[in-house]
Amino acid sequence: MDAPKENQPVEIRIDDISMYFGSGDRKVVALQNVSFDVRQGEFVSLLGPSGCGKSTLLRLMADLLEPASGQITIGSQHPREARLRRKFGIVFQNATLFEWRTVKDNIELPLEIMGFKKSEYSEITTHLLELVGLSKFQNHYPWQLSGGMQQRVAIARALSLDPPLLLMDEPFSALDEFTKERLQLDLLDIKKQTNKTVVFVTHSIPEAVYLSDRIVILSAHPGRIHSIIKVEREEGSFAHTRRTDKFHAMTDLVRSCFHEESDSLDEQIV
């Protein structure tokens, strides 16, 4: 059995982060005094309404933005150093693939950029293609793939340098329900096989409950942590899990956080 996640070393430390955009009348407080840790091997979702600062927080972790104040460390390094040392892979809402490169060539791009020789990475690519179920499509071009398949390529590309951490910003929100459910299950499977730490942005309560070990609930204007909820998950497909009492209890609990109905959220809030 896996060791409890709370006993694992801290992978990401978010320490009193604030972030603003614009100035004067147009100043937006995107994030205010946000602090939490993510442990190695944990799946943590950032959940909240549009504009609550989910993407901003993920971008700060990925060194795509600098915070106004506070500190982020990834494996005890500044995000810049973590980025240069390829400590994380990123997947966005749109797959952002290179249209003129095949599936295989898209997945291999980070390895090519890092200066590895083709002979050194053919085994890695074969494994990644299998992991995301695209072995038969390795010579296809992005325009020959469905949206879900394109996202699979983006996930494989993000894993190509074997980073310990995966940062994902609404990777499935543009997909239809069937494809989304398939990819959610596959992501859990990939996570199990690779033992990555995952930070996953979503505005879907069921998605967050289905995938996460913990959910960081953000409220908007200013973007702040409302609460952090520990999820009791049951393994299985979404179709199965969503019918369980545990799943209903968890989604109700998370929903009650948004509607402030809860008197006491018991030990689930950490």
Ligand X SMILES: Nc1ncnc2c1ncn2[C@@H]1O[C@H](COP(=O)(O)OP(=O)(O)OP(=O)(O)O)[C@@H](O)[C@H]1O
Residues at the contact surface with ligand X, assessed by CB under 6 A? 21-22, 28, 30, 48, 50-56, 203, 223
> Least separation, in Å, of the C-beta of 205 and Mg ion?
16
> Least separation, in Å, of the C-beta of 229 and Mg ion?
20
Whether the CB-CB separation of 65 and 59 falls below 8 Å is answered with yes
Whether the CB-CB separation of 86 and 77 falls below 8 Å is answered with no
Binding span for Mg ion by CB under 5 A among 10-18, 52-60, 172-180, 212-220: 52-60
Which strands make up the sheet holding 43-47, listed edge to edge? 88-91, 165-169, 197-202, 43-47, 214-219, 224-230
> Least separation, in Å, of the C-beta of 11 and ligand X?
21
Query: Is 102 a binder of Mg ion (CB under 5 A)?
Result: no
Query: Residue 28 touches which of ligand X, Mg ion, none (CB < 5 to 8 A by kind)?
Result: ligand X
Of 5 and 203, the one with the shorter C-beta distance to ligand X is 203
Of 129 and 217, the one with the shorter C-beta distance to ligand X is 217
Query: Is 268 a binder of Mg ion (CB under 5 A)?
Result: no
Query: Is 73 a binder of Mg ion (CB under 5 A)?
Result: no
Query: Is 56 a binder of Mg ion (CB under 5 A)?
Result: no
Of 57 and 149, the one with the shorter C-beta distance to ligand X is 57
Binding span for Mg ion by CB under 5 A among 9-17, 49-57, 126-134, 249-257: 49-57
Euclidean distance between CA atoms 185 and 195, whole angstroms: 15
First to last CA, the chain: 23
Closest CA to 19 of 30, 35, 7: 30
Query: Residue 161 touches which of ligand X, Mg ion, none (CB < 5 to 8 A by kind)?
Result: none
Binding span for Mg ion by CB under 5 A among 53-61, 146-154, 222-230, 254-262: 53-61
Euclidean distance between CA atoms 65 and 60, whole angstroms: 5
> Least separation, in Å, of the C-beta of 69 and ligand X?
16
Number of residues that bind Mg ion (CB under 5 A): 1
Query: Is 45 a binder of Mg ion (CB under 5 A)?
Result: no
Of 30 and 217, the one with the shorter C-beta distance to ligand X is 30
Query: Is 55 a binder of Mg ion (CB under 5 A)?
Result: yes
Site residues for Mg ion per CB under 5 A? 55
